[in-house]
Amino acid sequence: MSLNKNSVACPLDCFDACEAVYENDKCKGSKEHPVTNGKLCVNFAHLLNENFLNESYLNNEKIPLSTSLNILVEKLKNTEPSKTLYYKGSGNLGVMQSSPKTFFSEYGATLTKGSLCDGGGGEGLTQGRGSCVNPPIENLINSDVIIVWGRNFSVTSPHMYNLVKDKTFITIDPISTPIAKKSELHMQLNPKTDHELALLLTRFAYMEDVEDEEFIKNHAQGADWFFDLAKGRPVVSYEATTGVSLSEVTRFFEIIKDKKVSIMLGLGVQKYYEGAQIVRAIDSFAGYIGIHNKEAGGLWYLSDSSYGYENQFKVSPKKRVTLPEVDFSSYDLVFIQGGNPAVSAPNTKRVIEGLKNSFVVFFGTVLNETSEYADLIIPSSNFLTKKDLRLSYGHEFKAISNAVKEKNENTITEYELTQYLNDAFSFEKLEDEDKILNYYVEKNVEDAYKIETLEFIEELEIENLYESKEENEFYFITGKRKDNLNSQFNSDNTIHLHPNTGFKNEDEVLVRSQYGEAKFLVTINKDIKENCLFCYAGNRNANYLTTEKKDEESDSAMFQEVLVTIELS
């Protein structure tokens, strides 16, 4: 972790959490940060070229910042707090971004709970082992074989990938991703069959005599029940449901046998109603073959980045609403901070209709699809002009952000806005900003990745999509690409289909699900599995097809619990 006064932390929502050094009006990758390692990724470069918001607006008319703040206070004082929604996105993941939440909690607004991202998987890991904490990055570097399971590792974690790019890779993914093409083996399974593949692999692990008896004896509960699940059906039956051949499974064990193994687990595997169960089954397989608690190897997911830290912005909201189920029309005042729900939240039609029927305050650094529906826009100071600190959910290193440029006087930081609102409502002020940041800078979190007890999943109650899928239907899946990040930087209206689907490039098609419909342009792509419709995260129309219903365990979205039909428009 750098203490360079010119260091800046990338605020973007990705695993690597880069740190840069700002010199001569340019950012260069920090050489002191072990993961950034002197290089900047594409998304950080895009961020530096953003057209940052420097004006306030009321009904599309420019107004002074002071006027916008007065209007906000007046609206808050004249709105029933319970009819006010505070909605925070993940456009900036610095620790100081949570400061406004303290005001809205004290004020009595409705806050959100759950996740649009990783909630189901995190819940599954926590159920099995008590926390969701990654091993140290050194464990990954010291491994021999890296299993990339539902994660486009070289694209979503380019810095972490660069540290291990010469390793042997196995990819498990319905899409032939860039990392799949670099892999020794690509198991192109059907969507929502990851739990079945975990059971099949466990069955073979027993036959190949690679189960870790010591770990199971000393750190596990329910391993016998989990193995009973794995042997509860004929081995050959898994081929038809998963789409993975037994010869591929045999090859899998030839590659990993007597090797130090890591699993990089992605978000795609858990974007379903039973996402927690699916991830817990994968983690149980990992425990069965003994990759936990070693000096090399382990399982990485989207870790709880705040684990071991005391929250400096504690809140006790009177009411919370589940994030994917938010009905914006139920609130008289909606305050959106650093988010773009008009694209990133499920059931886009419902979201937009709700925004149209509320007084929307948008507080962010750039305009986006959601700000189009805002009545009042307040510009947040950009990341180069304010102090912050980034905790990573991909590795254990912090990134420190200093104010390396003078702040535009027409913008306001999250901390400043919170203090302003606290003063207007005579609420208790926050602690000094430097004191808050110094806590995170100085706090050393002890290694917490060792698993005391892994409770193997003992039963699976999962409704398989393949059982309800009609012949003319496609699995709906999404993923990341190199030149955008969720809905930031670039968005399109393209779906990707295999050549054998019969569609052609640039066909305009109507895609329907039971939740909605939208028009798209087709791109033919042989990397897509024939039974899948694939689109990149940030696609403007993708979430017209998804449900706002929450998952089974974690109050989170389930974007891929969808089957769709496609017809020429």
Co-location of 292 and 157 in the same domain:
yes
Examine residue 79 and state whether it is found in any structural domain, yes or no.
Answer: yes
Q: Which structural domain, as residue segments, surrounds residue 194?
A: 119-301+449-455
At residue 518, the pLDDT reads: 97
Quickly list H helices, 385-493: 414-424, 433-442, 465-468
Enumerate residue ranges in the chain where pLDDT < 50. 1
Give the phi and the psi of residue 293 in degrees, each rounded to 5.
60, 30
Q: 137 in helix, strand or coil?
A: helix
Examine residue 187 and state whether it is found in any structural domain, yes or no.
Answer: yes
How do strand 454-455 and strand 508-512 relate by DSSP bridges? unpaired
Question: What CATH number has the domain bearing residue 318?
Answer: 3.40.50.740
Co-location of 110 and 18 in the same domain:
yes
Co-location of 200 and 73 in the same domain:
no
Co-location of 111 and 128 in the same domain:
no
Question: What CATH number has the domain bearing residue 138?
Answer: 3.40.228.10
Nearest C-alpha neighbor of 57 from the set 328, 382, 360, 342:
360
Co-location of 82 and 175 in the same domain:
no
Co-location of 72 and 185 in the same domain:
no
**Whether 113 contacts 87, CB under 8 Å:** no
Co-location of 148 and 251 in the same domain:
yes
Give the phi and the psi of residue 417 in degrees, each rounded to 5.
-65, -40
Examine residue 463 and state whether it is found in any structural domain, yes or no.
Answer: no
**Whether 302 contacts 125, CB under 8 Å:** no
Q: What are the residues whose beta carbons fall under 8 Å from the beta carbon of 503, sequence distance 6 or more?
A: 497, 509, 522, 524, 566, 568
Co-location of 246 and 278 in the same domain:
yes
Tokens of 381: 């100071």
Give the phi and the psi of residue 264 in degrees, each rounded to 5.
-100, 105
Examine residue 461 and state whether it is found in any structural domain, yes or no.
Answer: no
Co-location of 360 and 418 in the same domain:
yes
pTM of the model: 0.95
At residue 1, the pLDDT reads: 43
Examine residue 310 and state whether it is found in any structural domain, yes or no.
Answer: yes
| CA atoms within 13 A of residue 509's CA, in its CB half-sphere | 24
Give the phi and the psi of residue 290 in degrees, each rounded to 5.
75, 45
**pLDDT, tens only, 409-437:** 999 999 999 999 999 999 999 999 999 99
b or e along 177-213 (b: 16 or more beta carbons within 10 Å of the residue's beta carbon)?
Answer: bbbbeebebbbbbbbbbbbbbbbbbbbbbeebebbbe
> What element of type H or E holds 454?
strand 454-455
Residues in the chain: 569
Co-location of 376 and 433 in the same domain:
yes
Examine residue 230 and state whether it is found in any structural domain, yes or no.
Answer: yes
Co-location of 107 and 124 in the same domain:
no
Question: What CATH number has the domain bearing residue 528?
Answer: 2.40.40.20
Instruction: Quote the number of domains for the chain.
Output: 3
Co-location of 88 and 164 in the same domain:
no
Examine residue 336 and state whether it is found in any structural domain, yes or no.
Answer: yes
**pLDDT, tens only, 183-210:** 999 999 999 999 999 999 999 999 999 9
State what percent of residues in the chain have pLDDT above 90. Answer: 89
At residue 461, the pLDDT reads: 97
Examine residue 1 and state whether it is found in any structural domain, yes or no.
Answer: no
Q: What are the residues whose beta carbons fall under 8 Å from the beta carbon of 478, sequence distance 6 or more?
A: 268, 271, 534, 535, 536, 537, 539, 542, 559, 560
